Amino acid sequence: MKDCKRLFDAVNYQLQKFPKPDMLAAKVNGQWKTYSTGDVAGMVNRLSAGLLKLGVSGNQFDEDSADKIAIISNNRPEWVFTDLAVQQTGAILVPLYPTTNPHEIEFILNDAAVKHIFISSKELYEKVKDVLPSIPSLQKIYTFDKVEGVDHWETLLVPAGDASLHDVEAVKSRIPESHVATIIYTSGTTGTPKGVMLTHRNIMSDAYLSKISFPFDDAPEHKVLSFLPLNHIFEKCVTYIYLYSGIGIYYAESMETIGDNLKEIKPNGFTTVPRLLEKVFEKIMNTGSQLTGIKRKLFFWSVKLAEKYDNNISGGFWYNLQLAIANKLVFSKWRQALGGNISFIVTGGAACQERLLRIFNAAGVPVYEGYGPTENSPVICVNRRDRKLAKFGTVGPPIDGLEVKLAEDGEICVKGPSVMKGYYKRPDLTAEAVTDGWLHTGDIGVWVNGNLLKITDRKKELFKTSGGKYVAPQPIENKMKENPFIEQVLVVGPERKFVGALIVPSFSHLEKWMKRNNIPYTTHEEAVKNPKVLDKYKEIVESLNASFNHVEQVKRFELLPREWSIDTGEMTPKLSLKRKVIMEKYKDAIEHIYACD
């Protein structure tokens, strides 16, 4: 892999090193359909030839004049075919989240002057078709599923053996590693979306350095399940790690079928974000709460035991003996529910609760937290398989080959080949973000044990109370979410006398508690106003406050009746909170917190 320069070289690399029958796979009509390395190579080259015949060009491999091709699709093999095929023409792929709102879709397609767009399904086509006439640069629309009145993507495939396939090889050979492979637009949570330009060298170097650092071994017999959106740079980067490692990639049918798909394909690993791990754990705990008698006691005893787990410090003979019993009687069932073969789960995109990391790792489900922004392609740090280079609550050491330093205010800065080329058409923003080769991430961190990085907060999310004290909301929120009664939380308090919080209860836990205590449960709206429920949450918050200093303690809170989501606009596609949106949407609730301020 070290000698490969472009992302699309992965296909020939795999053909030479470990051709396999299941390079990519997806469910079609209820059955897993696999694509061999040879299938993928042929499909990608035929699509590249079709795009070249359509007039798609890299135009001397300049990011301003190169054609832009957009894709808006769920995870599926066709996504990767398109990505690789577009790269081989020298054009630039502009991927969009399927959950992106029409207003942002219109902005992105116009900003990038997209020439052609690939859309996965009728549902997504119906979502975006109204904005497409507002894109003057747009020439053609193609769909992966057959949609009436729209060209199917297979109409672009030239026949095998067509002379134009030679043109593909000629174009491929001229594409430099310095050429922009993709422009990934940020979600726009703090303003207008910005297009991050990532070159072949950026992503290739990050994939290679991550592969050798973690490490990911060449493993043609292994499989992974992919469900994080492929247009997210985290999943895109690990896709190339998998391709260059010979690992078969199976695409989940949907977020709802992940559990079933894990049992079906029995993967060796997957990548995720903390919010999804929280959902998995909540489901496990709900299952445990339905047990009775000795099984219930054994379940919760095991969880309590796992909360004390430390991968760096042995708990001693008695603790290890108890953990072995818990693993055999309880945690073995968790592992089977994940397919029985999981050797790694890598989580990123947001801070993961330390409690979850302890519990999953104690249960023999290895979860490794990593960190990095889109602007770095993305990985900066990751906890390693080597226990000496892993610690719960940190994102591990920097991957080999990158320089990382902390600015005077604690901001994390990184320098290396994976740092972006810049923001598309925004040299002003690029100059702000990158100085002398150092990318300023906007994240605040501290070193632990000399070389392990701990993220303390986003620089822009730090706030000052009216008393002049700085507060970092993320650590407080993560600690509060460790309580099973708290599903989501947003800490508030800029320029206020004290810290407050908006809390979304875990309604599954709350409902069971209310029924056990003979408190009628009707609706979420009534539950969050019930005096006994409010007293319960006051008790919970007061107990959690013991973990914080006086300034950080949550003095008052509001319970909210609905969970925040992508669909309702409070979360980004990578399941991070949109703080400004939430604070505006719930400004009345916030004012109520400070009514006695």
For the segment 125-171, what is each residue's pLDDT rounded down to a tens digit? 999 999 999 999 999 999 999 999 999 999 999 998 888 899 999 99
Average pLDDT over residues 203-222: 97
Q: For residue 555, what is the domain's CATH number?
A: 3.30.300.30
Do the domain assignments include residue 249? yes
pLDDT value, residue 219: 96
Mean pLDDT of the chain: 95
Beta carbons within 10 angstroms of residue 382's beta carbon: 25
DSSP 501: E
What would the two tokens of residue 328 be? 């055999």
Do the domain assignments include residue 346? no
With a cut of 90, say whether residue 190 has pLDDT above it: no
pLDDT value, residue 189: 44
Do the domain assignments include residue 52? yes
Domain final position from 270, 292, 312: 270
DSSP 496: S
Do the domain assignments include residue 92? yes
What's the Cα-to-Cα distance from 25 to each of 95, 143, 226, 265, 321, rounded to whole Å? 21, 19, 10, 10, 41
Its pTM stands at 0.89
Do the domain assignments include residue 240? yes
Do the domain assignments include residue 510? yes
Prior bond to 229 cis, omega within 30? no
Do the domain assignments include residue 69? yes
Any idea which residue has 């075919």 for tokens? 81
With a cut of 50, say whether residue 249 has pLDDT above it: yes
Domain final position from 214, 235, 270: 270
Any idea which residue has 């949609």 for tokens? 147
- Reported as a pLDDT band with limits 50, 70 and 90, residue 596 is low
What would the two tokens of residue 294 be? 């000795």
Do the domain assignments include residue 586? yes
With a cut of 60, say whether residue 597 has pLDDT above it: no
293: phi then psi, degrees, rounded to nearest 5: 60, -140
pLDDT value, residue 572: 86
DSSP letter string, 13-56: HHHHH---TTSEEEEETTEEEEE-HHHHHHHHHHHHHHHHHTT-
Question: Using an 8 Å Cβ cutoff, are 537 and 546 in contact?
Answer: no
Could you tell me the residue range of the domain that residue 145 belongs to?
A: 9-270
In this prediction, what percent of the chain has a pLDDT beyond 90?
89
pLDDT value, residue 433: 96
**Number of domains the chain contains:** 2
Question: Using an 8 Å Cβ cutoff, are 551 and 493 in contact?
Answer: no
- Those residues whose C-beta lies under 8 Å from the C-beta of residue 271, and which sit 6 or more positions away, are 224, 226, 228, 234, 235, 238, 345, 346, 347, 348
With a cut of 90, say whether residue 275 has pLDDT above it: no
Domain final position from 270, 300, 333: 270
With a cut of 70, say whether residue 187 has pLDDT above it: no
Q: For residue 246, what is the domain's CATH number?
A: 3.40.50.12780
pLDDT value, residue 1: 86
Average pLDDT over residues 229-234: 94
CA distance 534 to 436: 53
For the segment 441-485, what is each residue's pLDDT rounded down to a tens digit? 999 999 999 999 999 888 888 888 888 888 999 899 999 999 999
